[in-house]
């Protein structure tokens, strides 16, 4: 017997022994591994071996051909050559075992069905349900390369554009690293999935896809004067629900009103001597804030150099810990505007003053380290304590403070529930103006990104544990390091464990919620329930849905959904949002934020709000009066005309005029229902007219208009041209009287 055939026989014997061992292992594992039904593509033919949905009979034919070739080599070797031929089932088992071992080496852990045997080999199927095709004749490394390329195609990492991130860059980098996503710190020519801006929506222009972490107009909306106006509007409609915002006056236009009210209060009770805090409209980090006790102490409230500011009642009895005043920095994510989705971080920061608190007096009004909780101010105090612990120091975690209060018998569940209510109500007050900005920057039908944003709510707890809103920051600091003097006159940035603990979690879980690969939210299921059903307290254990691709490596979400979860409790507050919808509907020109006189007249006529006692001439006078007053209040506006806040004032006037016997909230609600019903009737009439006009069109024109015969209409430009042609033709076919009314 030649050396070649001896070597072949030894190899076959080894393969046989390995096959028998593999069969024993498979039989033993047969009881442990559930037998899954084969895929639809697998044939029930018992004469072939199917591995991962592919017929392996080619391997069997190769074995037969090999045996035939060796039988022709010599008569003396016929026995040795005939043995593999007579033992065909064994060879079939050996092939399956050999391929199974290769699969195990490649890391496959799914189920491989062997036809005719009723056994399962351990392998791994792809997540999309397809089985990997394995050819025994291929090289293992080739298979590995194919497998890796398949995984790369399937698991493309989320891309994040971070060139504009600025101060939040370090926390963002850590978050991206934990998620194993791909960062582009210098930008990218191709589109990214997420764009992270440091200041505003317009940090990076010409974004037509993806997601941006800023809403258009958020900076303008959260200026102290605009937020105060929005909160005042809600206080007029719902005074009890919005009593968490201190009484405010906007300077300089309301200086006389402020002076008169304070003088009357002091005349009625000489013992009352309230304190007020003055905040510049565009100020940040405590810059320009000061306390006063008399209107005469105001600085630059008149003249050409007068700057807008807000003066508010000062909370004289705050809750103290260690005799120090503190406030809460709570991070809130607005995930989307339509529909409205709000998430609250279950962990926040508490910033402490660095001097023991005393009620304000004329002597201590200038003690900023006693009265102002701003971190950027107190960090310069010699008493400021940078602590490695979350429970001590001048900056601590919110949970540590709440645990401490709970140890003293405070109902933390009630406190947390009140904070959630404050956040939802504040966002509801902000949304109407934000929607006007949004449609101006990203009009309907125009390609553009979707938006989300993290906001910083500054909340103060009063001595009676009632939360009070101080302000909302559109760009809360996301630094995870602080400046420290390491030598006289030498400063450097050192890590801040408290900041890193809170801020990295907020950014990371915001990215997880905005992951474009997730169609469903990662948080708890939506439930239109209330606070009485639980879920209010910060420290309670919550089951969070985890990302299956993360393999449980990441912690549960630190962001808790509060809206639309609590829709039933707060949906009745969204009256101004309905007024904003009317305002946007009658704007007419895309990208506009101001209502012209013709559009205002169209609104009055369409909703049938004019009559013999309120003629169109009265409508024009009303428009001129309100618009002129608001243009003086907001001289830096980009456009001429009636803005949303002026339109809301006009709407309140019309509601009070038409429904005099009702309170303001019911007046506005009644007028809204009237306008919406009129618009619904008109839209029904227009639909019927458009149907009748389309019937009057020749068949060729109808098919061209609808784009049924012209393949070029699949592109945007021809569609717009076709739509404009259809509109012009539709206008010509309208009755002349209707056209005259619209043009007026």
The domains located in the chain, with CATH, are: 3-154 (no CATH), 157-216+318-573 (no CATH), 592-691 (1.10.238.10), 697-744 (no CATH)
Per-residue pLDDT at 89: 41
The larger pLDDT score, comparing residue 24 to residue 594, is at 594
Contact 421, 409 (CB under 8 A): no
Give the pLDDT band of residue 555 (cuts 50, 70, 90): confident
CA distance 442 to 460: 36
The larger pLDDT score, comparing residue 536 to residue 617, is at 617
Contact 358, 364 (CB under 8 A): yes
Least confident segment among 39-43, 259-263, 278-282, 502-506: 39-43
The yes-or-no verdict on residue 704 having pLDDT over 80 is no
Per-residue pLDDT at 142: 57
Give the pLDDT band of residue 728 (cuts 50, 70, 90): very low
Per-residue pLDDT at 601: 95
| The most confident of 240-254, 537-551, 701-715, by mean pLDDT | 240-254
The yes-or-no verdict on residue 237 having pLDDT over 60 is yes
The yes-or-no verdict on residue 538 having pLDDT over 80 is no
Per-residue pLDDT at 564: 93
Least confident segment among 351-355, 371-375, 628-632, 722-726: 722-726
The larger pLDDT score, comparing residue 335 to residue 22, is at 335
Per-residue pLDDT at 212: 94
CA distance 395 to 172: 21
DSSP letter assigned to residue 193: S
Per-residue pLDDT at 731: 46
Q: What confidence tens digit (pLDDT) does each residue in 439-463 have?
A: 988 887 777 889 999 999 999 999 9
The yes-or-no verdict on residue 680 having pLDDT over 80 is yes
Q: What is the mean pLDDT of residues 21-49?
A: 41
Q: What is the mean pLDDT of residues 205-215?
A: 88
Per-residue pLDDT at 412: 94
Cα dihedral 709, 712, 714, 720 in deg (nearest 10): -100
Cα dihedral 484, 486, 487, 490 in deg (nearest 10): -50
The larger pLDDT score, comparing residue 489 to residue 669, is at 669
Per-residue pLDDT at 230: 96
Q: What is the mean pLDDT of residues 33-38?
A: 39
Q: Is 732 helix (H, G, I), strand (E, B) or coil?
A: helix
Per-residue pLDDT at 495: 86
Q: What is the mean pLDDT of residues 343-352?
A: 96
Q: CA dist 741 to 116, 199, 313, 338, Å?
A: 81, 46, 50, 33
CA distance 329 to 324: 16
Nearest to residue 641, comparing CAs of 597, 689, 695, 691?
A: 597
Per-residue pLDDT at 565: 94
Per-residue pLDDT at 527: 34
| Percent of the chain's residues with pLDDT above 70 | 65
Give the pLDDT band of residue 6 (cuts 50, 70, 90): low
The larger pLDDT score, comparing residue 524 to residue 664, is at 664
Per-residue pLDDT at 39: 40
Q: Is 578 helix (H, G, I), strand (E, B) or coil?
A: helix
CA distance 314 to 178: 43
Structure tokens at 269: 């009770």
The larger pLDDT score, comparing residue 545 to residue 219, is at 219
Per-residue pLDDT at 51: 37
Per-residue pLDDT at 206: 79
Least confident segment among 45-54, 214-223, 320-329: 45-54
Per-residue pLDDT at 331: 97
Checking 459-463 for CB contacts under 8 A at 24+ apart, the result is 459/327, 459/328, 459/330, 459/419, 459/422, 460/315, 460/318, 460/327, 460/328, 460/373, 461/318, 461/319, 461/328, 461/415, 462/315, 462/317, 462/318, 462/319, 463/317, 463/318, 463/319, 463/320
The yes-or-no verdict on residue 734 having pLDDT over 90 is no
Q: What is the mean pLDDT of residues 288-309?
A: 79
Q: What is the mean pLDDT of residues 511-522?
A: 76
Mean pLDDT of the chain: 75
The yes-or-no verdict on residue 550 having pLDDT over 70 is no
Per-residue pLDDT at 248: 95
Give the pLDDT band of residue 265 (cuts 50, 70, 90): confident
Q: What is the mean pLDDT of residues 322-351?
A: 96
Per-residue pLDDT at 696: 53
Q: What is the mean pLDDT of residues 163-182?
A: 90
Per-residue pLDDT at 709: 38
Structure tokens at 679: 């618009």
Angle, alpha carbons 167-170-173 (nearest 5°) = 125
């Amino acid at each position: 017997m030649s050396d070649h055939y001896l070597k072949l026989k030894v190899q076959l014997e080894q393969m046989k022994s390995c096959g028998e061992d593999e069969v024993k292992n498979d039989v033993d594992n047969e009881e442990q591994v559930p037998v899954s039904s084969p895929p639809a593509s697998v044939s029930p033919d018992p004469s072939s071996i199917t591995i991962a949905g592919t017929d392996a009979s080619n391997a069997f034919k190769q074995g037969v051909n090999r045996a035939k070739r060796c039988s022709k080599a010599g008569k003396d070797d016929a026995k040795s050559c005939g043995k593999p031929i007579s033992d065909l089932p064994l060879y079939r088992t050996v092939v399956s075992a050999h391929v199974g071992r290769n699969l195990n080496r490649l890391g496959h852990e799914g189920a491989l069905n062997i036809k005719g045997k009723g056994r399962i080999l351990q392998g791994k199927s792809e997540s999309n349900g397809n089985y990997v095709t394995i050819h025994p004749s291929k090289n293992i490394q080739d298979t590995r390369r194919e497998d890796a390329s398949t995984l790369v195609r399937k698991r493309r990492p989320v891309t994040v554009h971070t060139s504009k991130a600025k101060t939040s860059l370090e926390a963002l980098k850590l978050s991206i690293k934990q998620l194993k996503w791909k960062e582009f710190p210098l930008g990218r020519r191709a589109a990214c999935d997420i764009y992270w801006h440091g200041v505003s929506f317009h940090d990076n222009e010409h974004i037509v896809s993806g997601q941006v972490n800023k809403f258009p107009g958020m900076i303008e909306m959260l200026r102290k004067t605009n937020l105060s106006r929005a909160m005042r509007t809600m206080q007029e409609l719902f005074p009890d629900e919005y009593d968490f915002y201190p009484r405010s006056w906007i300077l300089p236009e309301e200086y006389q009103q402020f002076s008169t009210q304070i003088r009357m209060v002091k005349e009625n009770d000489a013992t009352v001597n309230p304190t007020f805090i003055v905040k510049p409209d565009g100020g940040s980090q405590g810059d320009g804030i000061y306390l006063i006790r008399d209107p005469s102490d105001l600085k630059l409230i008149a003249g050409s150099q007068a700057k807008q500011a807000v003066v508010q009642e000062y909370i004289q009895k705050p809750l103290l810990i260690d005799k120090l005043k503190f406030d809460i920095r709570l991070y809130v994510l607005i995930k989307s505007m339509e529909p409205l989705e709000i998430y609250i971080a279950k962990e926040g920061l508490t910033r402490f003053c660095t001097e023991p608190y005393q009620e304000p007096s004329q002597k201590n009004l200038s003690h900023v380290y006693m009265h102002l909780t701003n971190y950027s101010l107190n960090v310069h105090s010699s008493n400021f304590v940078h602590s490695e612990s979350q429970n001590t120091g001048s900056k601590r975690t919110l949970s540590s403070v709440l645990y401490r209060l709970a140890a003293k018998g405070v109902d933390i569940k009630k406190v947390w529930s009140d904070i959630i209510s404050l956040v939802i109500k504040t966002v509801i007050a902000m949304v109407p103006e934000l929607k006007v900005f949004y449609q101006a920057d990203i009009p309907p039908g125009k390609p553009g990104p979707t938006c989300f944003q993290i906001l910083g709510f500054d909340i103060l707890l009063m001595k009676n544990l009632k939360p009070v809103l101080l302000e909302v920051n559109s760009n809360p600091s996301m630094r995870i390091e602080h400046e420290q003097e390491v030598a006289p006159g030498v400063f450097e940035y050192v890590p801040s464990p408290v900041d890193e603990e809170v801020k990295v979690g907020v950014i990371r879980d915001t990215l997880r919620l905005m992951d474009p690969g997730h169609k469903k939210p990662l948080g708890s299921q939506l439930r239109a329930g209330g606070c009485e059903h639980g879920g209010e307290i910060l420290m309670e254990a919550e089951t969070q849905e985890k990302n299956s691709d993360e393999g449980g490596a990441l912690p549960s979400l630190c962001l808790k959904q509060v809206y639309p979860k609590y829709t039933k409790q707060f949906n009745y507050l969204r009256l101004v949002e309905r007024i904003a919808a009317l305002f946007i509907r009658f704007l007419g020109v895309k990208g506009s934020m101001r209502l012209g006189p013709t559009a205002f007249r169209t609104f009055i006529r369409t909703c049938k709000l004019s009559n013999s006692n309120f003629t169109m001439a009265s409508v024009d006078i009303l428009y001129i009066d309100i618009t002129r007053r608001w243009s003086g209040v907001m001289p830096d506006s980009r456009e001429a005309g009636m803005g949303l806040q002026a339109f809301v004032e006009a709407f309140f006037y019309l509601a009070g005029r038409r429904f005099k016997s009702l309170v303001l909230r019911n007046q506005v609600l009644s007028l809204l229902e009237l306008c919406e019903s009129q618009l619904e009737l008109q839209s029904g009439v227009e639909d019927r007219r458009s149907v009748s006009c389309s019937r009057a069109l020749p068949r060729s024109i109808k098919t061209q208009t609808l784009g049924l015969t012209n393949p070029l209409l699949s592109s945007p430009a021809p569609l717009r041209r076709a739509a404009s042609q259809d509109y012009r033709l539709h206008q010509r076919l309208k009755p002349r009287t209707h056209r005259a009314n619209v043009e007026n």
